[in-house]
Amino acid sequence: MTRQPAILKECPACGTQVPDDANFCSCCRHDLAPPESNDATSGRAIVAFVVIVGGLLITAIILSRV
């Protein structure tokens, strides 16, 4: 049985060739894992409304997934 060559990618920090499935660079320890989707592009929206009616403060916060 012949061994398949490893698929490599380049570390963006130091240029070292590392396996495609590596989470860290073996040379400089740079994080190679894809970023988690906890930012604004993750499909969540927070909308806040503040209304003052006759001196009464009315606040509504709507959390939704888009």
Q: What is the DSSP letter of 26?
A: T
CB 4 within 8 A of CB 10: no
Predicted confidence (pLDDT) per residue in 43-66, tens digit? 667 777 778 777 777 777 666 665
How far, in Å, CA of 50 to CA of 56, rounded? Answer: 10
Percentage with pLDDT > 90 across the chain: 17
Q: Give me the pLDDT at residue 17, please.
A: 92
Rounded to an integer, the average pLDDT of 13-22 is 90
How far, in Å, CA of 7 to CA of 29, rounded? Answer: 19
What separation in angstroms does the CA of 1 have from each of 4, 8, 19, 47? 9, 21, 21, 59
User: Mean pLDDT for the chain?
Assistant: 77
Q: Give me the pLDDT at residue 10, please.
A: 92
pLDDT score of 38 more than 60: no
Chain length of the chain: 66
